[in-house]
Structure 1
Amino acid sequence: MDEQQEHGLARGLTNYGDFGFAMYLRRSFARSMGYSTGMLGRPVVGIASSGSGFNNCHRGMPELVEAVKRGVLAAGGLPIDFPTISLGEVFLSPTSLMFRNLMSMDVEEMVRAQPMDSVVLIGGCDKTVPAQLMGAAAADVPAVQLVTGPMMTGRHKGEKLGACTDCRRFWARYRAGDIAGPEIGQVEGRLATTAGTCAVMGTASTMACIAEALGMSLPGTAAIPAVHADRLRAAEASGALAVRLIHQPIRPSQVITPKSVENAVRVLLALGGSTNAIIHLTAIAGRLGIPVSLEKLNAWSDTTPVLVNLKPTGDHYMEDFYAAGGLSAVLRELAPTLHLDALTVTGETLGERLEAEREAWVDHTVVKRASDPVEPVGGLVALFGSLAPRGAILKRSAADKALFEKEGRAVVFTSLEDLSRRIDDPGLDVEADDFLVLQNAGPTSGSGMPEAGYLPIPRKLAARGVKDMVRISDARMSGTAYGTIVLHVAPEAAAGGPIGLIRDGDRIRLSVRDRRIDLLVPETELAQRRAESPAAPPRAERGYARLYQQHVLQADGGCDFDFLLGTPPGPRP
């Protein structure tokens, strides 16, 4: 027995003060699981499995784990799967974002603490892929990201349905009285009919594409539908790649670099992707000390067209995106603006990958040419001004351009409870030209920064045919949502930000052209309000909620914990 061996089951031996005994005991317990002596001598590939009965997106997890194991075994490794926290988007209270950092810590610590030479990370639902990439970046063990894939569409009266952009569209019609209870019940049963993540370019699909754009996933795998046989083949290939990474190590810190992060931002902008992705990408990069500047986001957005004709920005669904050429098609159109020397987990550079895919077919009704884009500029824009000194985000590709240059009267909701109680009150003093403002829904507010930024149109206005209004909050918005919605206002109200000082009737000016969002109230008046009503966020008494409120950063810091940030990258030793 080689006590100096540092791979396979000998990695990170439990310390009993006798390393020979530690290895003897570990192998003894491993044998109780039926492994042969030969298997126990192989290098180990960990498989981080985030399946859960509370996560519909991960219904296909058992099949994916088995397919990864096939690939590992065929390549000469020993696959060992292990569980981590699973974050089912609609099953968590108060919100899944609050538990993203907890899952990332789980992934980081289990990858580091257990004996594995490389790891395959399997996730799909919105916060699981960011959490896995954050944990992998910090642990810096060779890793491959495998996503569960998007669900297929359903049908209702001859129309395609895909969760969850269509769920919001039909719910808005139901609130406006256009459809009745029996039909909304039918739609409910037809929106999500297979395993997988939302069928549109929501947060899950956006993060799958970002993982591939960063170089952490196998080429061409981001958009494969969950129920497609190609998804299982991608899992098998990911397992085989994980074995290769043991012998030819490429660590996350070599793949997630300033260049690949910029590539990922460009892809996000071209997809018309989720606003959530800015928070997640900032957190992933932050684990390696790489900043994501909102000022640079604006510069990149102005030189990156929207190319993907998918809901909620366009007309199609993820199954169409995959059939049309997937992310490979997008990357080829963006190639002149990308860092083609960025390394990927396969060992190829991005440029080498694209050269190999040069002749691949593309359906340009779904993935547009750069010379004929869906929109000439990127899907997201950052706003600054007296209302958002550290920035806010607007998804302009899913907004009404008629509202981009506008001044309006504030109608303020002081909390989620206040919003729920009054938004449909027939006596609410609100008109279509007003700006709806939600306060106290940011990261330290006690609500965990929920996807509440998609404030509903007040029922009395919806009944009059109003489809969109300017809405402003320190909350987030689902990647499947749409509308002229200003999000992630920083600092948040609970941290003393100006958004918490807005009162009913105040005037607010929005200028997408000038990248500004301003509260038109004199500073003397704001100072008086601040003195009269200082921010006093609720404080959790114990457990993870207390840790979260004490250490979570604002939206411009990725809502990560301050003690988990990495140091800026430098030369590798």
Structure 2
Amino acid sequence: MTGRRDPKTLRSYRWLGVDDLRAFGHRSRMRQMGFDAQDWDQKPVIAIINTWSEINPCHSHFPERVKWIRKGIEQAGGLPIELPALSLSEPFVKPTTMLYRNLLAMECEELIRSHPIDGVVLLGGCDKTTPALIMGGVSAGLPMIYVPAGPMLRGNWRGQTLGSGSDTWKYWDDRRAGVITDRDWAEIENGIARSPGHCMTMGTASTMTAFAEALGLSLPGASSIPAADANHARMASQSGRRIVEMVWEDVTPDKIMTKAAFENALMVQMAIGGSTNAIVHALAMARRANVDMTLDDIDAISRKVPVIANIRPSGKTYLMEDFYYAGGIMGVYSRLSGVLHPEPVNVGGETMGEIAARGGVYEDDVIRPLDNPVYKEGATVVLRGNLAPDGCVMKPAASEQRFLKHTGRALVFDSYPEMKKEIERDDLDVTVDDIIILRNAGPQGGPGMPEWGMLPIPKKLVKQGVRDMLRISDARMSGTSYGACILHVAPEAYIGGPLALVRTGDTISIDVSERTIHLNVSDDELASRRAEWKAPPPRYERGFGWLSAGHITQADKGCDFDFLETQFGKAVPEPDIY
């Protein structure tokens, strides 16, 4: 192989190859587990970091996938070592998996740094596992390849296609309005999740696996393959074989995760109608990779790349299984070939230009041509103004278009429990033109910036047939969500951001085309309110929550811990072996 390294330069050689007392101890313990010299001698040791658990349905097939990855590593002459990591099951972990994204990133980084490994396969897919593994992997700096979980199969109810998340919200409102029965609701529950894999809408999971691939960290086309498809197992083996080659070639993340690669990934995110959560994660990953990326850079990309994937919730019709059959992510590359940077190289050693040239689209209504988009601009826009001086985000393609330029009266809630209780009142003073505000739901206030941003429509209005209205919060929302929701308001209310100063009855104006959001209150009045504002008590007094509160950055910086961002500090050196 061209450029093959000397085996004595491998990290694992320092643990297992040298003739000293410490290496004797390592080798004897390897033998204790049944390994022999033939397993490690002049072979790269490859970690498989596995985020499987028995309560993560998105990853329920990972034990089987590890077998295929292991097979590929062994075929290529490597020694696979499985290392379990925090699972971060989106449906079950409370108060939010986002609180623990940085914990998984830390665990991943330290697993890689502290073990005798030369390269790593990152096995994830459920929302926060993708960015967390990449953040940890790039900070550790060893050759790495990402194997995505893949989307589940389409849901089904009485012949209708169901999409995870998106149809949950839709039919929940129908049930609240009396349109469907309790029996209907129970049948939907039985039919909406039919196989292993993550959400099959273009939610955060599908968005982030596509982002990782477009960034260059997965094999071409890997992120589109449904979890239940036999091609997924083959992709896992191919990834195992490729990581061994990457170690010999010394293909480290810094050679892949360039500014141009991030811009490509963001263009793809815009084109596929991706989750707003991708913005927070993209900023965090870029800062770990020492790539200069801001919200303004992201909005500039949004202005030039339209939404072309007709996938729910930005699209109205199709799901990820349809997307795969229509050409998948490589079909999107082919549509964007005139705007994507062609030079970034992926883990397979191909350039984006070469990969895009191999892509094809086989159903034009699923992956639209650029001149017939689902929405004329990108999936996510960035708004700024006196209510969000450091920015906030919105997914306009998933909103009723009349709310993209709107002025309305604020209806303010200080907590989710308060909002949840009041929103069910039949006598609530609210109209469809009002703007619901939820605050104290940001990185510190949530805590962990939970997915509360798709605030429920008041029951009074749901009964009238209303299914969308303008909502603003410092929270996030599920990528499977839809509606006129403005999110990630920075700085957050909990630390005294302007959102903390809004009062019920104030008016707020937004203009998506102008990228503005404005609280129509005088500067003098806001100054008076600020003088009266009192900081809320801490959410945590010990443990990881306490650590997070002291070091988490705001949404416009990616919500990473300040002491982990590469550009603000030196990388931790590898451990000495004594």
Q: Under TM normalisation by the shorter chain, which class is it? A: over 0.9
1:144 aligned counterpart, secondary structure: strand
Question: Which stretch shifts more, 148-157 or 30-39?
Answer: 30-39
**Mean CA deviation greater in 537-546 or 496-505:** 537-546
Where does residue 257 of structure 1 map in the other structure?
258
Q: Residues 441-465 of structure 1, C-alpha deviation per residue, up to 9 Å, x if partnerless? A: 0001143211000000000110011
Question: 2 CA distance for matches of 1:464 and 1:363?
Answer: 37
2:524 — aligned with what?
524
Structure 1, residues 188-246: CA drift from partner, whole Å, max 9, x if none?
11111110000110000000100110000000111100011000000000000000011
Q: Which residue does 2:92 correspond to in 1?
A: 91
Contact between 1:469 and 1:484, CA under 8 Å: does it hold in 2?
Answer: yes
Find out whether 1:341 has 2:354 as its counterpart: no
Task: Give SS of 1:517's match.
Answer: strand
Residue of structure 2 in register with 1:78 after alignment:
79
Alignment partner, residue 106 of structure 1: 107
Q: Judge conservation of contact 1:27–1:40 (CA < 8 Å) in 2.
A: no
**Separation (CA, whole Å) in 2 of partners of 1:207 and 1:497:** 29
**Conserved? CA contact 1:390–1:490, under 8 Å:** yes
Deviations 1:288-307 (A, max 9, x none): 22232222222211110111
How far is the alpha carbon of 1:529 from its aligned partner?
Answer: 1.1
What residue in structure 2 maps to residue 7 of structure 1?
10
Partners of 1:70 and 1:183 lie apart in 2 by: 45
What is the match of residue 306 of structure 1? Answer: 307
Q: Which moved more, 1:18-27 or 1:142-151?
A: 18-27
- Contact 2:15–2:23 (CA<8 Å) still a contact in 1? no
Letter in 2 for 1:337: V
Q: 1:440 offset after TM fit, Å?
A: 0.4
Aligned to 1:132: 133
Structure 1: tracts of 5 or more residues without a match: none
CA spacing shift, 1:361–1:275, aligned 2, 3 Å: closer
Task: Show CA shifts across 1:496-517 (max 9, x none).
Answer: 1111111110010011111011
Letter in 2 for 1:7: L
The equivalent of 1:170 in structure 2 is 171
1:242-297 deviation per Cα after TM superposition (whole angstroms, max 9, x unaligned): 00011111111111111101111111110110000000111111102223222222
Structure 2 counterparts to residues 158-557 of structure 1, below 5 A: 158-314=159-315, 315-355=317-357, 357=358, 360-557=360-557
SS, match of residue 389 in structure 1 = strand
The CA distance in 1 between the partners of 2:490 and 2:522, in whole Å, is: 19
Q: Secondary structure at the match of 1:480?
A: coil
| Residue range with higher mean Cα deviation, 252-261 or 530-539 | 530-539
Q: Quote the RMSD (CA, aligned, Å).
A: 1.7
1:361 positional shift = 4.9
What is the distance in 1 between the residues matched to 2:16 and 2:444? Answer: 39
Aligned to 2:574: none
Name the stretch that deviates more: 177-186 or 80-89: 177-186
| 2:51 maps to 1:31 | no
Q: For the residues of structure 1 that align with 2:375 and 2:568, how far apart are their CA atoms?
A: 34
1:153-196, Cα deviation, whole Å (9 max, x unpaired): 12111101121211111111111221121211111111111100
- Contact kept in structure 1, 2:40 and 2:79, CA below 8 Å: yes
Q: Distance in 2 between matches of 1:289 and 1:10?
A: 29
Alignment-mate amino acid for residue 10 of structure 2: H
The answer to whether the 8 A contact 2:323-2:366 is kept is yes
Q: Deviations over 1:17-54 (max 9, x none)?
A: x9711111111111122123211212111100110012
Shift of 1:12: 5.5
Between stretches 362-371 and 550-559, larger displacement belongs to: 362-371
Structure 2: how far apart are the matches of 1:107 and 1:62?
18
Matched AA of 1:264: A
Distance apart, 1:345 and its partner CA = 1.2
Q: SS in structure 2 opposite 1:160?
A: strand
The range that moved more, 530-539 or 444-453, is 530-539
Provide the rounded CA distance (Å) in 2 between the counterparts of 1:83 and 1:568. Answer: 29
Q: What is the CA-CA distance between 1:521 and the residue it aligns to?
A: 0.6
Aligned letter for 1:392?
Answer: C
User: How many residue pairs were aligned?
Assistant: 562
**Cα shift readout 1:298-355 (whole Å, capped 9, x = no counterpart):** 2211110111010001110100111111110101111111111112111221112223
Q: Which secondary structure does the structure 2 equivalent of 1:365 belong to?
A: coil
- After superposition, where does 1:146-157 map in structure 2 within 5 Å? 146-157=147-158
Structure 2: distance between partners of 1:208 and 1:510: 32
* Structure 2 residue matching 1:392: 3-state secondary structure: strand
Match for 2:26: what amino acid? R
Equivalent position SS for 2:385: coil
Give the Cα separation in 2 of the matches to 1:374 and 1:457.
Answer: 25
Does the C-alpha gap of structure 1 residues 87 and 19 become closer, same or farther in structure 2, counting only changes over 3 Å? farther
| Distance in structure 2 (CA, Å) of the matches to 1:537 and 1:262 | 40
Determine if contact 1:444/1:549 at 8 Å carries over to the other structure: yes
Q: What TM-score comes out, normalization by structure 1 length?
A: 0.96
Structure 2 residue runs without a partner (length 5+)? 1-6, 571-578
3-state SS of 1:467 partner:
coil
The farther-off stretch of 260-269 and 5-14 is 5-14
The answer to whether the aligner puts 1:65 opposite 2:55 as a matched pair is no
Residues 330 and 355 in structure 2, CA contact (< 8 A), matched pair in contact too: no
Specify whether residues 175 and 141 from structure 1 end up closer, same or farther in structure 2 by C-alpha distance, changes over 3 A only: same
Are the counterparts in 1 of residues 475 and 489 from structure 2 also a CA contact under 8 Å?
A: yes
Instruction: Check the 8 A contact 2:361/2:367 in 1, yes or no.
Output: no
For 2:496 and 2:274, how far apart are their aligned partners in 1? 30
Shift of 1:419: 1.0
Cα distance in 2 between the residues matched to 1:307 and 1:74: 39
Is the Cα–Cα contact under 8 Å of residues 6 and 12 in structure 1 kept in the other structure?
Answer: no
Residue 538 of structure 1: CA displacement? 2.1
Quote the offset at 1:431 in angstroms.
Answer: 0.9
What is the rounded CA distance, in whole Å, between the counterparts of 2:498 and 2:485 in structure 1? 17
Answer yes or no: is the 8 Å Cα contact 1:412–1:438 preserved in 2: yes
Answer yes or no: is the 8 Å Cα contact 1:446–1:537 preserved in 2.
no
SS of the residue aligned with 1:222?
helix
Q: Which amino acid aligns with 1:543?
A: G
TM (normalized to structure 2)? 0.95
Q: Which amino acid aligns with 1:548?
A: S
The one-letter code matched in structure 2 to 1:185 is A
2:563–2:569: 8 Å Cα contact kept in structure 1?
Answer: no
| Closer/same/farther in 2, CA of residues 474 and 485 from structure 1, 3 Å limit | same
For the residues of structure 2 that align with 1:361 and 1:410, how far apart are their CA atoms?
A: 45
Distance of 2:40 and 2:251 partners within structure 1: 24
C-alpha displacement of 1:139: 0.5
Is contact 1:10–1:23 with CA below 8 Å preserved after alignment?
no
The alpha-carbon distance between structure 1 residues 541 and 28, as it changes in their structure 2 partners (threshold 3 A), is: same
Residues in 2 aligned to 1:98 and 1:371: alpha-carbon distance in whole angstroms? 40
